[in-house]
Amino acid sequence: MKAVALIAVCFLALQVVPINCPAADPQGPLAREQERYTISIALEFSKKFKSPLVRALDSLGTMTPNGYASGFIVADGLVMTSYHVVSGQLSPAKRKTLGFKPDDELEVKAYVYGCPVRVVKVNEKADLALLKVCGPVKQPRHAKFVTAPASVEPLLVIAHPGQRKAIKSGSFRGTYSFGGHDYWAVRVEAEDGFSGSPVYDSNGDIVGVFCLYDWTQGVGLMSPGTQAQELLADYGGSAQP
């Protein structure tokens, strides 16, 4: 598979593109139970190099998000998402969509419930990031991660880009190698804003974190839940209740 076919399905849910997420509930009680743990992450992209005057003026302004991604609660005050969501790295085409030059270097500020987040732990290779949230993320949710599910096992992806949630059912498709790293694949319909979404099995346990999409094959790629568990454990949290 050519690398050009793989596109990060993240923030863009750009403000200039309407989000059309259905209110479907394909897994019934399971989706209703788990969707409350999926969090919208507002993103504010700007040029990385600014004059001191521009930076001073920016510090006086209010939050003006120009993109959105998803994340989910893994412990009290902690949200997990994809690393590329908070890296500030965008394709030239998406930079242009936001009004920047294709070669502009960008930085990004991330917010949950209008409150800036702090990136406390990342695994760039696995495309995972752990965020400390100062907003009202206080539910005693300790994520339970699982190893790879059985072939074609039904899975559930719950995204929250912006104001609306998207709940999509899919099926497990095994491993998928890209960029020297092994991902797990899920056959599912996806939209912009899905990066950082949790992927659940039929028991409500987390199989992985949605991060990439192959539009030619209709297959989403996820960082394995075991790597998300390791990242949380490395930070000092507990991945099990």
Alpha-helix runs per DSSP H in 128-239? 225-235
CATH number listed for the domain at residues 3-8+23-33+143-235? 2.40.10.10
Q: What predicted TM-score, i.e. pTM, was given to this entire model?
A: 0.82
Q: Which of 80, 112, 29, 115 is nearest to 232 (CA)?
A: 80
Question: Tell me, what's the pLDDT at 241?
Answer: 38
Mean local confidence (pLDDT), 124-143: 81
At 10, list the tokens.
Answer: 């993240």
Question: Tell me, what's the pLDDT at 49?
Answer: 73
Greatest Cα pair distance in the chain: 56
Question: Tell me, what's the pLDDT at 61?
Answer: 59
Q: Is the dihedral of CA 23, 29, 34, 36 positive or negative?
A: positive
Please answer whether residues 237 and 78 qualify as being in contact, where contact means their C-beta atoms are separated by less than 8 angstroms.
Answer: yes
Domain ranges in the chain are 3-8+23-33+143-235, 36-132
Residue at 83: amino acid letter: Y
Query: Is the pLDDT score of 239 beyond 60?
Result: no
Q: What is the pLDDT of residues 65-84, one digit of tens each?
A: 889 999 999 988 899 999 99
Query: Is the pLDDT score of 24 beyond 70?
Result: no
Common-topology check for domains 3-8+23-33+143-235 and 36-132: yes
Spell out the residues 6+ positions from residue 57 whose beta carbon is closer than 8 angstroms to its own: none
Is 36-132 in CATH node 3.30.920?
no
The CA dihedral of 77, 25, 192, 39, to the nearest 10 degrees, is -10
53 vs 232, residue with greater confidence: 232
